[in-house]
Amino acid sequence: MQKFTSVQDVANIDELVNEALHLKQNPYKYKQLGENKTLGLIFLNPSLRTRLSTQKAALNLGMNVMVMNLDKEGWALETQEGAIMNGTTVEHIKEAAAVMGEYCDILGIRSFPKLQNRDEDYNEELLQQFIDYAGIPIVSLESATRHPLQSLADLVTITEKKPAGKKPKVVLTWAPHVKPIPQCVANSFAEWMGQANVELVITHPKGYDLAEEFTQNATVTTNQDEALKDADFVYVKNWSSYIDYGKVLTEGEGWMMNNEKLALTNNAKVMHCLPVRRNVELSDEILDGSNSLVLQQANNRTYAAQAVLKRILETL
């Protein structure tokens, strides 16, 4: 594995999931693999689970880890080719990424979309520039369009918890939120589930269709109750409009998951990537109840990241 930015970078997702589960049982088995290797974690946006789980994953493999909150601690980056840098930007990404590549063996990057220009966000310009200029393997810690480490951990969790002897029905349901949220997690989840052995249904209010490239293997409906019927897993996530880009089109009354909606399912396990707005996206009764998998998902973030880092280390 030369980079990890989407499911397209994975030759066999079942093998990668099984490797993560193996590492969960044997977290220090490959501690010599990362000896004298350095992982750089570069954040342009906040993080809790991604930062801590990826750092722990690297330490489990014996790596050194350096973390930088580039938005707060670094120079203002210029990303435009041929820019005359006589304004507020101080360092061009060509030098910044290349220097990071000199210090590190693998580089993780987190950069959220601005939700202002869809083409700019979906071209993944910043992530691609790190890939082009760093000269070392790049791991996406969440980009403008995807969150692959989260999606891998989600698939690991579903694999652990799925009912025996059947193809699970997995429902991705839109949920209300107090502000516009990127489509990254929803895109990525749909993309990974579309490659997995599950029945995927996506439900959302009108106007919240995701980009078709992510939903080709899913059934899509605006009828949440119908979507939830007989579901084995319900993944709850808000996202802003892709069509009317970055906009909130509805307050989402009646879309929050609660026990009444859970009763429509096959006693489904409920998932969320966290952080979650309690009693906006998900009710207390679900989050504090026995159907919630949010902590198991968070725990599996470590072993998902560890499987990815192991694969990359094996190529260095």
Tens digit of pLDDT for each residue in 41-69?
A: 999 999 999 999 999 999 999 999 999 99
Q: Calculate what percentage of the chain has a pLDDT beyond 90.
A: 99
The set of long-range contacts for 221-226, using a CB threshold of 8 Å and a minimum separation of 24, is 224/173, 224/255, 224/261, 225/261, 225/264
Q: Distance between CA atoms of 25 and 20, rounded to whole angstroms? A: 9
Q: Which amino acid is at 226?
A: E
49 is in an annotated binding site: yes
- Model pTM score: 0.97
228 is in an annotated binding site: no
**Arithmetic mean of pLDDT over the chain:** 97
* End-to-end alpha carbon distance in the chain: 10
DSSP 62: T
206 is in an annotated binding site: no
Q: What is the pLDDT of residue 316?
A: 96
Q: What is the pLDDT of residue 29?
A: 98
- The string of pLDDT tens digits covering residues 66-104 is 999 999 999 999 999 999 999 999 999 999 999 999 999
Q: What is the pLDDT of residue 222?
A: 98
75 is in an annotated binding site: yes
Both tokens of 170, joined, read: 């997995």
* Mean pLDDT across 276-299: 98
Opening angle at CA 300, ends 305 and 289, nearest 5:
155
Q: Distance between CA atoms of 57 and 299, rounded to whole angstroms? A: 11
129 is in an annotated binding site: no
274 is in an annotated binding site: yes
56 is in an annotated binding site: no
pLDDT confidence bin for 33, thresholds 50/70/90:
very high
The CATH-assigned architecture of domain 148-298 is 3-Layer(aba) Sandwich (3.40)
Both tokens of 308, joined, read: 């990815």
DSSP three-state, residue 156: helix
The CATH-assigned architecture of domain 7-146+300-313 is 3-Layer(aba) Sandwich (3.40)
273 is in an annotated binding site: yes
166 is in an annotated binding site: no
Q: Distance between CA atoms of 252 and 77, rounded to whole angstroms? A: 37
- Using the CB atoms, write b or e for 288-305: b if 16+ within 10 Å: eeebbbbeebbbbbbbbb
149 is in an annotated binding site: yes
- The string of pLDDT tens digits covering residues 242-280 is 999 999 999 999 999 999 999 999 999 999 999 999 999
The set of long-range contacts for 247-255, using a CB threshold of 8 Å and a minimum separation of 24, is 247/180, 248/177, 248/179, 248/180, 249/205, 249/206, 249/207, 249/208, 250/205, 250/207, 251/176, 252/174, 252/175, 252/176, 252/177, 252/205, 253/176, 255/173, 255/174, 255/175, 255/176, 255/205, 255/224
- The string of pLDDT tens digits covering residues 179-194 is 999 999 999 999 999 9
104 is in an annotated binding site: no
150 is in an annotated binding site: yes
146 is in an annotated binding site: no
Say yes or no: do domains 7-146+300-313 and 148-298 share a fold.
yes
In the chain, domain spans: 7-146+300-313, 148-298
51 is in an annotated binding site: no
- Using the CB atoms, write b or e for 186-206: b if 16+ within 10 Å: bbbbbbbbbbbebbbbbbbbe
Maximum Cα interatomic distance, the chain, rounded to a whole number of Å:
64
142 is in an annotated binding site: yes
Q: What is the pLDDT of residue 83?
A: 95
